[in-house]
Amino acid sequence: MAKRLDLSGERFAAVYRLEGDRDRAEATARRICLEQTVEYPDDLIDCSDIREQIFGRLVSLEPSGEERFDATIAYPSEAAGRELTQLLNVLFGNISLEPGIRLLEFDLPPGLAACYRGPRFGREGLRRLAHAERRPLLCSAIKPMGLPIAELAELAYELARGGMDFVKDDHGLNDQSFCRFEQRVERCAEAVERANRESGGHCRYAPNVTAPFDQLSERVRLAARVGAGAVVISPGLTGFDAMRSIADDDDSSLPVFAHPAFLGGFSVGRDSGISHGALFGRLMRLAGADAAIFPNYGGRFSFTREDCRELVDGTLCPLGNLAPAFPVPAGGMKLENVEDMIDFYGRDVVLLIGGDLHRHGPDLAATCRRFASLVREISD
């Protein structure tokens, strides 16, 4: 061999849940060690450098249920390069295509962690922006698609007046012919700013940005210029590294709310895909999300309490030096759920209620004030 491999020796670990008895699980684990690195038949590799330094290593294989094992596999940090796309590739590229393998969690040793800034604001930063030290943060959405911009702006105004910390676009609002991005953001940002002036509040408007690849950065910067206070990004639609790039952009410097659209393929299968904690917690943080929106338990999306618990842990657990992100349970939440949600999530949560705020009489700002005072009462 012309040149010796000379890697640092640092490895990052991933835990996979494997279906089958011990023999089958071990065979799968050993296959993953090759599949996710060399993707080459073991017996055809005669180079000891590659074998010792590149191959994934099976660190442990522990039973975790009936006919089910958790395998911890350590990969060389250099295999993941310094790029999120390649880290995803090593963690779950080809093996995403095999049934019976679920990525449960992964860690981020120092060399790899140094490649990722993570959430710019995180929980502390969002609290500072919202001037809210201890209580849960409050969020609502402007919708539905099809409403004229003037009416969306009016809704944003009422929601801000009523004390929401964040008013976000519905994730279906894009740059449609009937609702242009630039005009919408200008009008809604202005409406929220006006409400803040009148109420002394600190509400931030978060437009939804799912632009074409080559216009995404510019659209976020445009949003920042015309007064947006955050952005909603769906990494399932844009790619995780697009969100990372937006979070890292010092020109816009906006908080990022991650939306789970199009990511369900990974979470609905119970014995394949990616765990709720790794997908909606760890990966979202790694890709710069300050807050991770997800379907709350008890709503229409079949997430369980355990899924949500695991997800919250993923937003908070040690992961390199990445700041914790806020969990944002959503999806058909109602005022009547608030007590239960605070009981479950505690204070460190962004409560996102959409349609239900429109069910309590014509004065939307007044309903928001009820929502806000309910939260204060319960969490004080």
Per CB under 8 A, contacts with its own copies among 184-243 are: 210-214, 216-217, 234, 236-239, 241-242
The residue from 168, 171, 259, 276 that is catalytic is: 259
Q: Does 296 bind its own copies (CB under 8 A)?
A: no
Q: Does 379 bind its own copies (CB under 8 A)?
A: no
- CB of 380 vs its own copies, minimal distance in Å: 31
Q: Is the peptide bond before 41 cis (omega within 30 degrees of 0)?
A: no
Handedness of CA 310, 313, 314, 318 (dihedral sign): negative
Q: Write the single-letter amino acid at 196.
A: N
Question: Which distant-in-sequence residues (6+ apart) come within 8 Å of 23 by Cβ?
Answer: none
Helix (H) or strand (E) holding 326: strand 326-330
Q: Which of 15, 25, 78, 127 lies at the binding interface for its own copies (CB under 8 A)?
A: 78
Q: Contact 242/216 with Cβ under 8 angstroms?
A: yes
Applying CB under 8 A, the span of 117-125, 223-231, 298-306, 363-371 interacting with its own copies comes to 298-306
Applying CB under 8 A, the span of 159-167, 191-199, 267-275, 310-318 interacting with its own copies comes to 267-275
Please report, for residues 10, 38, 57, 77, 243, the alpha-carbon distance to residue 109 in angstroms, rounded to integers and kept in the order given.
7, 22, 16, 8, 22
Ramachandran bin of 253, using left for φ above 0, alpha for ψ from -120 to 50, beta for the remaining angles = left
Q: Which of 128, 144, 253, 376 lies at the binding interface for its own copies (CB under 8 A)?
A: 144
Nearer to its own copies, 15 or 91 (CB): 91
- How far is CA 139 from its chain centroid? 16
Tell me which residues in 100-119 interact with its own copies (CB under 8 A).
none
Applying CB under 8 A, the span of 58-66, 117-125, 155-163, 264-272 interacting with its own copies comes to 264-272
- CB of 379 vs its own copies, minimal distance in Å: 27
Q: Which of 58, 59, 132, 145 lies at the binding interface for its own copies (CB under 8 A)?
A: 145
Tell me which residues in 319-358 interact with its own copies (CB under 8 A).
354-355, 358
Q: For residues 347 and 289, what is the distance between their CA atoms, to the nearest angstrom?
A: 19
Nearer to its own copies, 72 or 267 (CB): 267
- CB of 190 vs its own copies, minimal distance in Å: 16
Q: Does 83 bind its own copies (CB under 8 A)?
A: yes
Q: With CB under 8 A as the rule, give the number of residues binding its own copies.
A: 94
Bridge partners, 290 (sequence order): none
Pairing between β-strand 137-142 and β-strand 350-352 as defined by DSSP bridges: parallel
Q: For residues 341 and 336, what is the distance between their CA atoms, to the nearest angstrom?
A: 9
Look up residue 6 and give its two tokens: 């000379």
Q: Does 73 bind its own copies (CB under 8 A)?
A: no
Q: Does 361 bind its own copies (CB under 8 A)?
A: no
Q: Which of 25, 38, 139, 222 lies at the binding interface for its own copies (CB under 8 A)?
A: 38
Residue 65: closest CA among 217, 250, 271: 271
Q: Does 265 bind its own copies (CB under 8 A)?
A: yes
Q: How many CA atoms lie within 13 A of 44 on its CB side?
A: 5
- CB of 128 vs its own copies, minimal distance in Å: 27
Tell me which residues in 4-33 interact with its own copies (CB under 8 A).
5-7, 31
- CB of 71 vs its own copies, minimal distance in Å: 17
Q: For residues 102 and 267, what is the distance between their CA atoms, to the nearest angstrom?
A: 10
Q: Does 90 bind its own copies (CB under 8 A)?
A: yes
Rg, C-alpha atoms of the chain: 22
Q: For residues 276 and 297, what is the distance between their CA atoms, to the nearest angstrom?
A: 12
The residue from 131, 143, 171, 276 that is catalytic is: 143
- CB of 204 vs its own copies, minimal distance in Å: 21
Length of the chain: 380
User: Is residue 259 among the annotated active site residues?
Assistant: yes
Q: Which of 2, 23, 66, 200 lies at the binding interface for its own copies (CB under 8 A)?
A: 2
Q: Which of 81, 309, 313, 369 lies at the binding interface for its own copies (CB under 8 A)?
A: 81
Look up residue 125 and give its two tokens: 């930063």
Question: Could you give the residue numbers annotated as active site?
Answer: 143, 259
